[in-house]
Amino acid sequence: MGPKNFIIAIVLAVALSVGIFVATRVQTPPTLIAGLVLPATTPLPEFTLVDQSGNAVTPDSFRDQWDLVFFGFTHCPDICPATLQVLSAARDQLAAAGHEPLPRIVLVSVDPERDTPELIGQYVGYFGDGNLGITGSLDELRKLTAGLGIFFEKQPGDGKSYAVDHSAAVLLINPDGEFHGLFSGAHRIENYVHDLPLIMAGK
């Protein structure tokens, strides 16, 4: 090998070593799987509802913790219990992995006609401790849903036997009481376990 070729080989070897060094230390920023962070957070609209203990729930009730908010109802046969179970399992996995803080799970009833505070309290209790159930007047509920772009509509039925169509998204409310992001269906445990720590850490 001539002197010129030898120098070229040395340069290539150094460049390769530098490339390997940089590649092992510069990581691609983590990306979200299913969560969507809003370009600008949005304050919650003014409303007054009640929780499972009969206490007033206002926008201030969503301050000082992260909340995963789902709009559903206790007589829902499928998507509501399935979604709440996913949220509960995801939170359990985050807790087991030592992630802090853990988000609170919130169910806002879109069926206030049947969902009394007592009933919704029993229902959210099936999915773990510390969950918040919210119900109240239809007028106040519409203030909240309209401000967040949540759809719901009662379907025709006989007496107390009816269904309610509703949005299936899970909204993420930040500790400043602002609409921060959302997860649309299909809801999967692993998506929440992966995305929530990133979103809550601001990555």
CA 173 to chain centre: 8
As a whole number, mean pLDDT of residues 86-99 equals: 97
Least trusted range by pLDDT, from 79-83, 90-94, 153-157: 153-157
Q: Is 105 helix (H, G, I), strand (E, B) or coil?
A: strand
As a whole number, mean pLDDT of residues 7-29 equals: 38
| Complete domains list, the chain, with CATH | 35-200 (3.40.30.10)
As a whole number, mean pLDDT of residues 25-42 equals: 79
SS percent in the chain: helix, strand, coil, step 5:
40, 25, 35
What tens digit of pLDDT does each residue of 64-74 get? 999 999 999 99
Reported pTM? 0.84
